[in-house]
A and B are shown apart, each in its own frame.
Chain A
C-alpha cells in the first residue's frame, strides 16, 4: 500500500484519512520538523498538507515571526504570527522541498488558479482539492504521481 504522510496542526485530517482513505498507510506529523523526521525515517509516497496552522505554537512554525514582522508588517508581531500560520502549509512544503523531498503534495484548500500555478512552479508536483472528499483526494493523488 502507498504511504501517505498527513501534515496538520490538529488531528482532523489524520482521523479522516484513517477512516476514508484505508487504501493508504497513514502517517502523521504536526510540524515541519516532525515531517522531515518522518520522511527521513520511513519515507512516504505522497503528502496531504493542511494550509493553516493556527493552533500550532509559534516556536513550531516555519518562519521567523520577528523578521516577518519587520519585513512585512511594520514590526507588528501579532500580524506576522497570523500570516505565518495562514501560510504554514506552503512554508512546510518549501522546507521539505529544500531538504530534497519531492513527493507529490496535496492541499485541501480553494487556491485561486494563479496561486496554484505559482505553487506548482515553485514546488513541482502540487495539487489541491476544495473539500475533504475521499474520492477527489484519491483522484488528485493519482494525478500528481
Chain B
C-alpha cells in the first residue's frame, strides 16, 4: 500500500469516523449521538464508514484489524441509532481505535 493510499484512508475514513467520537463527553446530547451516527453509518451521505473503507482500502493483511473494528461498529448500528448509552460508548471507543490504528499504519507506511 502506498503512503498516498494510506493517507487517504486516514483522511477520508479515520478523521471522519472519529470526528464526534473523540470529542464525546460522558453524557452526550442527542445532537451529538446523531452526529456520531452520521460519522459511522452515513459517511459521505448514505454510506457506512465500513463501505467507504472497503472501497478505498487495498486487500492487505495489515488492514484486517481495522476491518474487524468497522464490522463491530456495524454490528452496533441498531443500538447506536436507538441511542442506547452502552452501545454509543462502545461505538465511540471503536471509532477512536480505528483512527488510532489507521494513523499508526500511516506512520509506518
Q: Which residues of A contact B (CB under 8 A)?
A: 12, 15-16, 19-20, 51-52, 108-110, 130-135
Contact = CB atoms under 8 A, between A and B. Distances in A.
Interface stretch (B10-18, B58-66, B69-77, B81-89): B10-18
A48 to B, nearest CB: 13
A127 B22 CA distance: 20
B103 A130 contact: yes
Q: Which range holds the interface residue count of chain B?
A: 10 to 19
Contacts of A19: 20, 31-32, 35
Interface string B1-33: 000000100110001101110110000000110
A91 B32 CA distance: 32
Given A15-B35, A19-B31, A108-B15, A133 B23 contact: yes
Interface of B: 7, 10-11, 15-16, 18-20, 22-23, 31-32, 35, 99, 103, 106
A131 B11 contact: no
A12 B31 CA distance: 14
Contact of A110 (B18, B31, B106): B106
Contacts of B103: 110, 130
Contacts of B18: 131-132
Given A15-B35, A19-B31, A108-B15, A134 B7 contact: no
Contacts of A133: 22-23
